[in-house]
């Protein structure tokens, strides 16, 4: 069944802003006749009813929400969070929310107060600072977290099933006969890092494999740092791992460079697995085995939880977990 037309559809077809569409139906006297005609014609073609606008006005609500990416140095083009954004945009459109998208840094640089942006709810992606969360809560703005959990905070959170993803990795490598498996633990989101680290340790032990401090290397989550860390691991003749689990696909790219520099073949001499199943996986040679995360579904669930909060629903699920799936390619 086709979804009902929204104010955004009318805006696109008429060629005017959503604010102008809203004003045309709520305060037509303030809109030029030629513009009103464009809006009315577009609404007629789409069979659009302005009831949603009328409801929002009656409730004295803006139906405006925000998605803020809380990752150092992030842009809205960051692949993982852009995938979440796509799901948020789709769900927000269906729910007729107006959506603002920003990074935490840009949010602070523009107008700092949520009140001035007139938002009613916010989705915080990544490691949101406690002060930012508190600011929204103080202004009675509904908050949903994505790719993060905050201990002790009664906030709905949407996360990927990190533990299952890592367990699939260890099970796959163990089934291929690998006994010396190391982890490149890049410093990413603190929640994600903790989940994947503990899942790695638990997965190794459940498969009867030894986990030594030397088999887990902390590094920055970029190609340069992971390349150096991987090279250190792989230079050990006696303890050299035969497989590397990398905190994400960028870290895996660093491992590829280190292996190539040392003359090691992938996967004959070294199996490599990443996480996130990003666009670089099929570009690496050989193609990278990685854990797929349904980012769009995460975004959709965020909007569902936020909408429930805005509607005053009770017993909202505080933890929503999206399944993960190991995508096996030629690197293992």
Written in H, E and C, the secondary structure of 261-305 is: HCCCCCCCCCEEEEEECCCCHHHCCCCCEEEEECHHHHHHHHHHH
Asked if CATH classification 3.40.50.2300 holds for the domain at 64-160+296-322, the reply, yes or no, is: yes
To the nearest whole percent, how much of the chain has pLDDT over 90?
A: 58
The model's pTM is 0.80
Residue 213, pLDDT score: 84
Model confidence at 167: pLDDT above 70: yes
Model confidence at 36: pLDDT above 60: yes
7-59 maps to which CATH number?
1.10.260.40
Mean pLDDT, range 58-72, rounded to an integer: 78
Domains 64-160+296-322 and 162-294 share a fold: yes
Residue 263, pLDDT score: 95
Within 13 Å, how many C-alpha atoms sit on residue 121's CB side?
26
Split at pLDDT 50, 70, 90, the class of 156 is very high
Q: CA 299, CA 322: separation in Å to the nearest integer?
A: 10
- For the chain, the structural domain boundaries read 7-59, 64-160+296-322, 162-294
Model confidence at 302: pLDDT above 80: yes
Residue 52, pLDDT score: 53
Asked if CATH classification 3.40.50.2300 holds for the domain at 162-294, the reply, yes or no, is: yes
Q: Nearest Cα to 302, choosing from 168, 182, 197, 147?
A: 147
Rg, Å, the chain Cα set = 24
Longest dimension (CA), the chain: 81
Mean pLDDT, range 62-72, rounded to an integer: 87
Look up residue 259 and give its two tokens. Answer: 């292996």
Model confidence at 237: pLDDT above 60: no
Q: CA 65, CA 120: separation in Å to the nearest integer?
A: 6
Residue 61, pLDDT score: 62
To the nearest whole percent, how much of the chain has pLDDT over 70?
A: 92
Q: CA 241, CA 269: separation in Å to the nearest integer?
A: 9
Model confidence at 109: pLDDT above 90: no
Residue 70, pLDDT score: 92
Residue 60, pLDDT score: 56
Burial 149-176 (b: 16+ CB within 10 A, else e): bbeeeebbbbbbbbbbbbbbbbebbbee
Of 203 and 23, the structure prediction assigns the larger pLDDT to 203
Split at pLDDT 50, 70, 90, the class of 3 is low
Residue 113, pLDDT score: 47
Model confidence at 1: pLDDT above 70: no
- Mean pLDDT across the chain: 88
Mean pLDDT, range 116-145, rounded to an integer: 89
Mean pLDDT, range 297-307, rounded to an integer: 96
Model confidence at 62: pLDDT above 70: no
Split at pLDDT 50, 70, 90, the class of 307 is very high
Model confidence at 260: pLDDT above 70: yes
Q: CA 255, CA 242: separation in Å to the nearest integer?
A: 12
């Amino acid at each position: 069944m086709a979804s009902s037309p929204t104010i955004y559809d009318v805006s696109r077809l008429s060629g005017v802003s959503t604010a102008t569409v809203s004003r045309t139906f709520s305060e037509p006297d303030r809109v030029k006749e030629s513009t009103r005609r464009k809006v009315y014609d577009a609404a007629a073609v789409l069979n659009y009813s302005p009831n949603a606008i009328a409801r929002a006005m009656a409730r004295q609500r803006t139906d405006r929400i925000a998605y803020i990416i809380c990752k150092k140095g992030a842009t809205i083009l960051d692949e993982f969070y852009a995938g979440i954004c796509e799901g948020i945009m789709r769900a927000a459109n269906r729910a007729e929310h107006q959506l603002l998208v920003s990074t935490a840094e840009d949010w602070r640089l523009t107008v700092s107060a949520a009140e001035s942006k007139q938002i009613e709810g916010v989705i915080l992606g990544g490691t949101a600072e406690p002060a930012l969360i508190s600011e929204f809560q103080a202004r009675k703005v509904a908050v949903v977290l994505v790719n993060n959990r905050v201990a002790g905070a009664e906030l709905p959170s949407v996360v990927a099933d990190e533990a299952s993803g890592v367990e699939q990795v260890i099970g796959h490598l163990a089934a291929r006969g690998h006994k010396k498996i190391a982890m490149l633990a890049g410093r990413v989101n603190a929640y994600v890092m903790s989940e994947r680290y503990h899942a790695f340790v638990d997965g190794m032990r459940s498969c009867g494999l030894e986990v030594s401090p030397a088999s887990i290397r902390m590094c920055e989550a970029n190609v340069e740092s992971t390349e150096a860390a991987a090279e250190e691991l792989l230079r050990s003749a006696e303890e050299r791992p035969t497989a590397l689990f990398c905190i994400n696909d960028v870290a895996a790219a660093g491992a590829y460079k280190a292996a190539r520099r040392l003359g090691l073949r992938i996967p004959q001499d070294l199996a490599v697995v990443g996480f996130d199943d990003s666009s670089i996986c099929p570009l690496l040679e050989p193609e990278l085995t990685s854990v797929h995360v349904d980012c769009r579904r995460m975004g959709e669930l965020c909007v569902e939880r936020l909408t429930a909060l805005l509607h005053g629903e009770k017993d909202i699920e505080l933890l929503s977990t999206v399944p993960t799936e190991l995508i096996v390619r030629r690197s293992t």
